[in-house]
Amino acid sequence: MGILDSITGQSNTGTSNTGGNPLVSALMSILANQSQGVLSGLIQKFAGSGLEDLVNSWISTGQNKSITPQQVQQGLGDDTINQLSQRTGMGHEEVKSQLTQVLPQVIDRLTPNGQVPPQNDIMSKGMEMLKSIL
């Protein structure tokens, strides 16, 4: 079982025993509401926080760099962490801890060719990704 499967509550048979991970759903919802665009807004947030190299490793076709809970906080900001905590019912530390595993994989899957796809492709890729993990 992969990390996304365990986080989203999927078993090895592909069935969901929790109805999906509320953190992944909440993250996708927040990304969809970024004024700069789904993925562009997130990339700009991380770049503006001094974490451009980190997020670029998730976009590229090479190995993804790992992220710490502190870097999650730094990249997403207090408001986003608070929103995710409220939407999921998880504590701030749990949100940041799970995002250290989820965030690199979400961005990596949304950018399969090592490039940020056009805005209209991101939503369809995001929906495909959610369908495959829920």
**pLDDT tens-place string over residues 80-100:** 899 999 999 999 999 999 999
How confident is the model over 41-78, as pLDDT tens digits? 788 889 899 999 999 999 999 899 999 999 999 999 99
Which residue carries 């906080």 as its tokens? 73
Share of the chain above pLDDT 70, in %: 63
Question: How much is the average pLDDT of 24-44?
Answer: 70
Q: Supply the CATH number for residue 64's domain.
A: 1.10.10.690
Share of the chain above pLDDT 90, in %: 37
Question: How much is the average pLDDT of 106-123?
Answer: 73
Which of 97, 77, 76, 94 has its CA nearest to residue 85?
94
Cβ burial of 46 (10 Å; 0-12, 13-18, 19+) is buried
Domain count, the chain: 1
First vs last Cα of the chain: how many Å apart? 14
Residue 27: per-residue pLDDT = 76
- Which amino acid would we find at residue 59? I
Q: What residue spans of 1-134 are helical by DSSP H?
A: 3-8, 22-32, 38-48, 52-59, 69-88, 92-110, 119-133
- C-alpha distances out from residue 72 to 10, 38, 112, 121, 125, Å: 24, 17, 22, 25, 23
**91: helix, strand or coil:** coil
User: Which residue range(s) make up the domain with 125?
Assistant: 3-133
